[in-house]
Amino acid sequence: MNALNQLSVWLSFQLSIIFLIGIPVTLFFWSIKKRNKAVYTLLSIYWKISLLFFISLLLLIGKYNYALVITNISTLLMTISVWFWTDINEEFKEYEFSYPLTTTTKVWRWSLTFISINFLIQSLNNISCFTLINTASCEIWLQPSLNLYIFFKRLFDFFFGANFTQPVSKFLGLFSLLIYLLGLIQWSIIKLPKNGRNSCFSENGRN
């Protein structure tokens, strides 16, 4: 059962890489090429929100006890960010199914939603890892970040001649988390009351 659980977690991370990073990158550059403001704005907001996911990976490398909680919060916020905006949702309704960019974006939104739900379910199967990531039973959640850890070690050594360690990753993750939270609080206090669920993508005119 442990091997099956480990495989399931590994697959969840692989799917996350595809649907949280790979497809959004493709859609972002596609929207630039097509000059589609709605999709471009949606993906621009998505990338800002998704920074929390990358911060959580740093915290997983650093074996921060609450890293898995932050990972799940990040996927939840990323999912909310692609459904939240009423003006973008209304714009998408005006496009025919035959328009590939918006149709692909809609399919991706649903896929992202299911991926996030699946990730949460996988996490709940190891609920003790929400607060104690450094136990043997939680090692399966740390293994997928191992390749990223190796990449950062080589990057640090190449550019700075320094060793990238797990404590360094934890510090960078917590510092980035603080900056992220300050930015989120600022948006919640200033921009959200002013604009509500309007992304303002059409302020400069519609396509």
Lookup result for tokens 């209304």: 90
Q: Look at residue 176 in the predicted model and tell me its pLDDT.
A: 96
Lookup result for tokens 């929100």: 49
CA–CA separation, 85 and 199 (whole Å): 6
Interior/surface letters 47-81, b for 16+ CB within 10 angstroms, e for the rest: eebbbbbebbbbbbbbbbebbbbbbbebbebbbeb
3-state class (DSSP) for residue 75:
helix
Give the start-end residues of each E strand in the chain: none
CA–CA separation, 181 and 12 (whole Å): 26
Q: Which pTM value belongs to this model?
A: 0.88
Start-to-end Cα distance in the chain: 53
Q: Look at residue 150 in the predicted model and tell me its pLDDT.
A: 78
Lookup result for tokens 């739900």: 117
What pLDDT, in 10s, does the model give residues 140-154?
Answer: 888 777 777 777 777
What are the structural domain ranges in the chain? 2-195
Residues of the chain with pLDDT below 70 are 1-7, 158, 160-161, 203-207
